[in-house]
Amino acid sequence: MKATVIAKDQTFTGRDFLTLLDYTPAEITKLLESALEIKKNKSAYADTLKGQSLGMIFENASTRTRVSFEVGMTQLGGHALFLSPRDMQIGRGEPVIDTANVLSRYVDAIMIRTNSHELVEELAEYASVPVINALTDNYHPCQAMADLLTIVEHKGALKGLKLAYIGDGNNVAHSLLAAGAKVGMDVSIATPAGYEVNESIFDKAQKAAEETGATLIQTTDPIEAVKDADIIYTDVWASMGYEQEQEERLKQFSQFQVNEELVKSAKSDFIFLHCLPAHRGEEVTAEVIDGHHSAVYDQAENRLHAQKAILLALLSK
């Protein structure tokens, strides 16, 4: 993939980043090209966002998201401000419209990690600065961009590849469907009955896939999903907010572990991805996640580079 810098591209400047379904295949490709360029030439971008600030609202705990966004803004010459709802008036019932309008007077962009996707959409509606979705119950688009970047680096392309996701039909699965649909990558989702992806989101991704030729499949058979896969992906069985269901999910997902037997159905040169944190011995065995097929640390690192490309695209003036 040839690197092309997208600074000052008016098709991006000032936009929100809520889901990949809002972006065209060409725009996603440009963001990935920019991420590759930024990763190769870190010093060339040291002052690109000088004087600009990112407000980071965290309703949920975070390691990779907080560190990567904060470091990313710093490396681009800007400043990131950590905002906890416990320390903000929004945590005490201030209307979203007020928070959005006030923060827009202070910062150049707002990043939010929360549960309700509707809250993020409301924040974006009233904010006059870009709003970046760093995770909601429905989508995790920044993670998906890092996933695509990792696949490009390991496979050299996206279109025509097959990604198999095994586990819960959660926000990560939704964003992988959206990502695959937009770039022409086949995505097979295997979940236990009752834990499928959101039907409306699947339909939206399917509509996008019709334009790129991607095939999207949902099944309850992990072997079927993994057959001839180029990429195998999984996530924790009980995402944040579902910890009380942990014991029940251990039972329901017991046949959906990514282990050495399951991966035999994939291509011999498959790569393994996991958004982390991982529970070895549950959704994946140590032999797989720590084996030579695993690219999870490259994937984690690429959160930094993909998000720097997003920040640069939305904030360049």
The closest of 140, 151, 224 to 189, measured between CA atoms, is: 224
Question: Does residue 113 carry a catalytic annotation?
Answer: yes
Residue of 140, 174, 274, 293 marked catalytic: 140
Question: Does residue 140 carry a catalytic annotation?
Answer: yes
* Sheet of 79-83, strands arranged across: 79-83, 53-58, 109-113, 131-133
Question: Does residue 292 carry a catalytic annotation?
Answer: no
Cβ of 315: how many Cβ atoms within 10 Å? Answer: 23
Q: How many residues does the chain have?
A: 317
Parallel/antiparallel/unpaired status of strands 109-113 and 162-166:
unpaired
How far is Cα 194 from Cα 209, in angstroms, rounded to an integer?
24
Residue of 113, 117, 274, 293 marked catalytic: 113
* Sheet of 231-234, strands arranged across: 216-219, 186-190, 162-166, 231-234, 271-274
Residue of 137, 147, 186, 235 marked catalytic: 235
Question: Does residue 142 carry a catalytic annotation?
Answer: no
Question: Does residue 64 carry a catalytic annotation?
Answer: no
The closest of 84, 79, 81 to 58, measured between CA atoms, is: 84
Residues contacting residue 194 through CB under 8 Å, at least 6 positions apart:
252
Q: How far is CA 4 from CA 118, 195, 316, in A?
A: 34, 40, 15
Question: Does residue 143 carry a catalytic annotation?
Answer: yes
Residue of 75, 143, 218, 307 marked catalytic: 143
Q: What DSSP character marks residue 49? A: T
DSSP H or E stretch at residue 152:
helix 141-155
Spell 76-89 as b/e; 16+ CB within 10 A means b.
bebbbeebeeeeee
CB 162 within 8 A of CB 214: no
Helix axes 296-315, 64-75, angle to 10 degrees: 50
Active site residues: 113, 140, 143, 235, 275, 303
